[in-house]
Amino acid sequence: MIVFKIQKKLQSASGEMLLNLDFEIKENEFVTLYGASGSGKTTTLRILSGLSEADKGIITIHNETWLDTDKKIQLPPQKRKIAYVFQDYALFPNMSVRENLSYALEKGQDKTIIEELLALMELEQLQHQKPAQLSGGQKQRVALARALVRKPDILLLDEPLSAVDHEMRLKLQDYIIQVHHKYKLTTILVSHDIAEIYKMSDKVIVLENGNISKQGTPEQVFSSRLVSGKFQFVGEILKIEKENFIYIVVVLIGNNVVKIIAMEEEIKDLNIGNKVLIASKAFNPIITKIDL
Partner 1 sequence: MNLLTGEIIAIKTEGSLSLVKVMVQDCAITSIVIETPETATYLRIDNKIKIVFKETEVVLAKAFSGAISLQNKLDCNVHSFEKGKLLCKIILNFQNTKFASVITRNAFDQLDIKENDLVQAMIKTNEISLATHD
Torsion angle (degrees, nearest 10) of CA 115, 121, 123, 129: -100
Q: Does 261 bind partner 1 (CB under 8 A)?
A: yes
Q: Does 281 bind partner 1 (CB under 8 A)?
A: yes
Closer Cβ to partner 1, 131 or 218, answer by number? 218
Q: How many CB atoms lie within 10 A of CB 76?
A: 8
Query: What is the closest distance, in whole angstroms, from the C-beta atom of residue 176 to partner 1 in the complex?
Result: 31
Q: Are 94 and 164 in contact (CB under 8 A)?
A: no
Q: Which of 13, 227, 287, 290 binds partner 1 (CB under 8 A)?
A: 227
Q: How buried is 289 (Cβ within 10 angstroms: 0-12 exposed, 13-18 middle, 19+ buried)?
A: exposed
Q: Segment near partner 1 (CB under 8 A), from 160-168, 170-178, 185-193, 221-229?
A: 221-229
Closer Cβ to partner 1, 283 or 292, answer by number? 283
Q: Which of 90, 224, 242, 257 binds partner 1 (CB under 8 A)?
A: 224
Q: Which of 182, 230, 239, 242 binds partner 1 (CB under 8 A)?
A: 230
Q: Which of 108, 283, 286, 292 binds partner 1 (CB under 8 A)?
A: 283
Closest alpha carbon to 126 in 87, 96, 93 = 96
Q: Which of 1, 90, 119, 246 binds partner 1 (CB under 8 A)?
A: 246
Q: What is the identity of the amino acid at 157?
A: L
Q: Does 36 bind partner 1 (CB under 8 A)?
A: no
Q: Which of 73, 90, 252, 282 binds partner 1 (CB under 8 A)?
A: 282
Distance CA 250, CA 270 (A): 12
Q: Does 269 bind partner 1 (CB under 8 A)?
A: no
Listed in sequence order, the DSSP H helices in the chain are 41-49, 97-103, 112-120, 136-148, 166-182, 194-200, 218-222, 264-267
Q: Does 77 bind partner 1 (CB under 8 A)?
A: no
DSSP structure string for 69-84: TTTTEE--GGGS-EEE
Q: How many CB atoms lie within 10 A of CB 207?
A: 24
Query: What is the closest distance, in whole angstroms, from the C-beta atom of residue 276 to partner 1 in the complex?
Result: 12
Number of residues engaging partner 1 in binding (CB under 8 A): 20
- Write the DSSP symbol of residue 274: -
47 Cβ neighbours under 8 A, 6+ residues apart: 6, 8, 53, 54, 59, 67
Query: What is the closest distance, in whole angstroms, from the C-beta atom of residue 177 to partner 1 in the complex?
Result: 31
Distance CA 219, CA 225 (A): 10
Q: Which of 70, 265, 269, 291 binds partner 1 (CB under 8 A)?
A: 265
Q: Which of 14, 228, 256, 288 binds partner 1 (CB under 8 A)?
A: 228
Q: Does 229 bind partner 1 (CB under 8 A)?
A: yes
Q: Does 273 bind partner 1 (CB under 8 A)?
A: no
Q: Does 279 bind partner 1 (CB under 8 A)?
A: yes
Binding residues for partner 1 (CB under 8 A)? 224-230, 243-246, 261, 263, 265-266, 279, 281-284
